Structure 1
């Protein structure tokens, strides 16, 4: 199973006053750099989904892909862009504002999908991370075969990640480290 990671950095950053969150400094480097360092060793390829400051994102040395339109339609639009541009059959999405994401995220999501495929013959199974605080739907391993389905879901005006995921066979993979899913949504958090 070859996997492309899609780092979701295409939002408006409204909770941070409209700044481009992926480029916000955290402990001496942009948030997206932390995420890239943690996810890149886990996958075959990496894409960054961004809709602003494309030149700055391209400096990280991986392809940068934009949403299908300029409406900032949320994480699902970034997942869609990832599906449309990935060269692998599977993608894993991660947000740009979670600099502590698990170092075994992809291997654990992948193992869960492989078990589901063997035991239940579920071809289009999604694997979604969860921890004690709840589910983390944007930390998701998904097959690109669902691309057309996602296109239709977005075309209907739907935007909720978990609502799209609920329409397909999915499994939750539990992670113990609660801090791994900390996302930085406010300026004062960048010093954590």
Structure 2
């Protein structure tokens, strides 16, 4: 089993929050506290060090981690820019990522990803969840949750080359890697809260 001290956690909170009205999503109140507080509380016990990728309002994120990391790339270049920043900061052999707007992430997230990564010797393990449009097994479709992943930190130079060549999409980068998909039973655990309406709906 991969030792917990060799796994750093990175909460991705560096976006513009466009769908929520250009506000910092991680700082929006959800069940009486900042949404990032829920994510940090669930992820921190699973990792040796917790980092937050944040490009604005860093002082408001300070209570949730002493390791706040801004993008190195300019112009809010997306979640891979946050992953890149994390890889340049952390000193562990592995890093797990989760978005700041997913306050229900499972408490066995890292354990399951790490087990799959170790068993397959892949470069990256990513969560997949099931969507069923019917009651028959053949209608079950598996979908990647690409920002919930555990990766080897020696991928830093590979990611830098991908970004330097103009790559920005997580799914496109994954195609170049050895990836193991790890199924999780409860799709709701990976629910993203993207709008103010969802903040109210999912808090009930």
The TM-score by the shorter chain falls in which range? over 0.9
Q: Which residue of structure 1 aligns with residue 136 of structure 2?
A: none
Secondary structure of 2:64's aligned partner = coil
Q: Which residue of structure 1 aligns with residue 187 of structure 2?
A: 178
Q: Which residue of structure 2 aligns with residue 115 of structure 1?
A: 119
Q: How does 1:136-175 map to 2 (within 5 A)?
A: 136-175=145-184
Gaps of 5+ in 1: none
- Report which stretch shifted further, 63-72 or 32-41: 63-72
Q: Which residue of structure 2 aligns with residue 97 of structure 1?
A: 101
**d(CA) in 2 for partners of 1:152 and 1:55?**
32
Given candidates 54, 63, 72, the residue that maps to 1:50 is 54
What stretches of structure 1 move > 6 A for 4+ residues in a row? none
Contact persistence 1:90–1:142 (CA under 8 A): yes
Deviation at 1:69, TM superposition (A): 3.0
Deviation at 1:19, TM superposition (A): 0.3
TM value normalised by structure 1: 0.94
Given candidates 179, 187, 190, the residue that maps to 2:196 is 187
Q: Which residue of structure 2 aligns with residue 37 of structure 1?
A: 41
Work out whether 1:74 is the aligned partner of 2:72: no
TM value normalised by structure 2: 0.89
Gaps of 5+ in 2: 132-142
Contact persistence 2:36–2:103 (CA under 8 A): yes
Deviation at 1:30, TM superposition (A): 0.7
Contact persistence 2:80–2:168 (CA under 8 A): yes
Deviation at 1:162, TM superposition (A): 1.1
Contact persistence 2:52–2:65 (CA under 8 A): no
**d(CA) in 2 for partners of 1:22 and 1:69?**
21
Note the alpha carbon deviations across 1:23-48, whole angstroms, 9 max, x for none. Answer: 01101111110000000011111100
Secondary structure of 1:132's aligned partner = strand
Aligned-residue CA RMSD (Å): 0.9
Contact persistence 1:51–1:70 (CA under 8 A): no
Task: Tell me the matched-pair count.
Answer: 186
